[in-house]
Amino acid sequence: MSASAPERYTQELKRDLKLWENVSLVVSAVTPATGAFIIAPVLFGLNGTGAPLTFVIAAILGISLAFCWAELGSAYPIAGGDYTFVSRILGRGAGFVSLVLSGPVQAVLIPAVVALGMAEYLRVVIDIDANVLGAIILLSGMVIAIFGVRLNALAVAALLVIELLAVVLVSVLGFVKANRSVSVLFSPEVIGDGGTRPLTFGALIAGIAVASFAYNGFQGALLYSEETVGERKNVARAVFIALGVAIACEVLPVAAALLGAPSVPDLVASANPWQYFLTAIGGDTFNTIISLGIAVAVLNAVIALMPFFARILYSSGRDMAWPRPVSRSLAKVHPKYGTPVVATIAVGVAGALIILVTDVETLTTWVGAVLAIEFILVALSAIVGRVRQPNQDRPYRMPLWPIAPVVAIVMSIGVLTQQEPSDLAVAGGLVLIAVLYYVFYLRPRVHTHMLTLDPVLYDEGKGSTEPSGSAQQTTHISQN
């Protein structure tokens, strides 16, 4: 066997996801219900009647990034997502920073936000501490996720119907029972301190970080690329479909709530704006019924997010990004269900623990700053990759390159400049820790750790599409 032949990952994850199953997992991970019913209340408090406009502007950032993810994901169909192409294009140091931000950090924070938000809606019928209930929800989603990605796809597809129905129903009710003109949406005001004031440009930009969190997840199609059958363009298709659904399901219900609420100041000031809105237009019973529907919808997100982040941790273990015992554990695949069992448990347990000691608002603002940094790395990869690797096979190529990544970088930098110093300190501290770990642990072990192997490619009806004419090696974590 040639010593210079490229090393290629072995196919360990079970490859049996169809395009629509990939999309259902990704849309559920984006979870339109979470953006509308959990993240939007944070935006009401920050940007008042400017919340819908903030979602629209954040959608421009999302579309710019979608072009980047679609191209990069089809070129590098590897389960780890962002860090796998960042490390191959910008270098392993930048790749490890991306891994920390998109993997362990988001794997702990984002499912925790979703589970806490769901707990608030379940409390209309269950009188239990929201943090404890959120931890129970997260651990339940962890157990479900272990039983196979296709089972997850089928389960979330069924729950996704309920989720979308809840979003549609609330949107229709808001528009039908509108108490004010749509012009209120185009003259955004912040409400508080006994009065109103125009929404400033700086506050609008700062709110984009929170709104971007609501859209985050549509890039999840990349994480299931080793389990999806068919041509690699399916990764790009899933990215755009998921984002389109997310935009519609964030903007419309938030705008409907502002138009249909009896009192906008009361809506914005409410501890739970949606329960105020639902009670005001339909009464307590109606609020209870819809709140339970919302809770079921958000449960869908918890189930979808478990395999989402578990695959990043699984891939990091397979790439030996951590000390050998940790990496080997994270890379373990369940012998029957073909799922990364240890990585899934790690996501569930870590998220459950952080839920017990924090709140939705804190987690949401932390994630906003982290996402902005990650977006810059993704967009830079889309630019540098074309320059450094012009011959790289790209089944999908974005139109009008490099406009989309440049827009994403400019908007992300703008978002960072408007973040609270404490949130920037958290994000900066995480980046510093990642850089130090890479410099002092990974870089001296360049031949055995932070591996960057070639992906296993697959096309429906053709099976593995290994390049012919050259010997191919496969490798596994136990060999390293």
- Domain holding 199: CATH number? 1.20.1740.10
- The string of DSSP codes covering 254-312 is HHHHHHH-S-HHHHHHSSSHHHHHHHHHHHHHHHHHHHHHHHHHHHHHHHHHHHHHHHH
φ/ψ bin of 455: left (φ > 0), alpha (ψ from -120 to 50), beta (otherwise): beta
Q: Is residue 480 part of a domain?
A: no
Q: How many CB atoms lie within 10 A of CB 213?
A: 28
Rounded distance between C-alpha atoms, residue 39 and residue 46, angstroms: 11
Q: Confirm if 33 and 163 have CB atoms less than 8 A apart.
A: yes
Task: Render pLDDT for 214-270 as a digit per residue (tens, 0 to 9).
Answer: 787 788 788 888 888 777 888 888 889 888 888 888 888 889 989 998 988 888 888
Q: Is residue 116 part of a domain?
A: yes
Phi, psi of 65 (to 5 degrees): -70, -30
Q: Which are the contacts of 51, defined by CB distance < 8 A and separation ≥ 6?
A: 40, 43, 44, 207, 254, 258
Distance of CA 417 to the CA centre of its chain: 22
pLDDT band at 2 (very low <50, low <70, confident <90, very high): very low
Q: Confirm if 87 and 451 have CB atoms less than 8 A apart.
A: no
State the residue range of the domain holding 236: 17-469
Rounded to two decimals, what is the model's pTM?
0.81
Q: Confirm if 209 and 372 have CB atoms less than 8 A apart.
A: yes
Q: Pick from 56, 85, 127: which is nearest to 312 by CA?
A: 85
| pLDDT given for residue 149 in this prediction | 57
Q: What is the mean pLDDT of residues 160-189?
A: 84
Rounded distance between C-alpha atoms, residue 410 and residue 69, angstroms: 17
Q: Is residue 7 part of a domain?
A: no
| pLDDT given for residue 391 in this prediction | 85
Rounded distance between C-alpha atoms, residue 84 and residue 454, angstroms: 10
Rounded distance between C-alpha atoms, residue 169 and residue 163, angstroms: 10
Q: Is residue 93 part of a domain?
A: yes
Read off the DSSP letter of residue 102. I
Q: Which of the pair, 135 or 439, is modelled with greater confidence?
A: 439
Per the structure, the count of domains in the chain is 1
Q: Is residue 396 part of a domain?
A: yes
DSSP-H helix ranges across 16-50: 19-30, 32-34, 40-47
Q: Which are the contacts of 436, defined by CB distance < 8 A and separation ≥ 6?
A: none
- For helices 273-318 and 40-47, give the axis angle rounded to 10 degrees: 120
State the greatest distance between any 2 C-alpha atoms of the chain, in Å, as a whole number.
Answer: 76
Which of 28-32, 318-322, 367-371, 452-456 is predicted most confidently?
318-322
The CA-based dihedral angle spanning residues 435, 439, 445, 451, taken in that order and rounded to the nearest 10 degrees: 30
Q: How far is CA 294 from CA 115, 117, 186, 192, in A?
A: 12, 10, 28, 27
pLDDT band at 119 (very low <50, low <70, confident <90, very high): low
Phi, psi of 454 (to 5 degrees): -80, 145
Q: Is residue 125 part of a domain?
A: yes
Q: Is residue 5 part of a domain?
A: no
Q: Is residue 246 part of a domain?
A: yes
Q: What is the mean pLDDT of residues 51-66?
A: 91
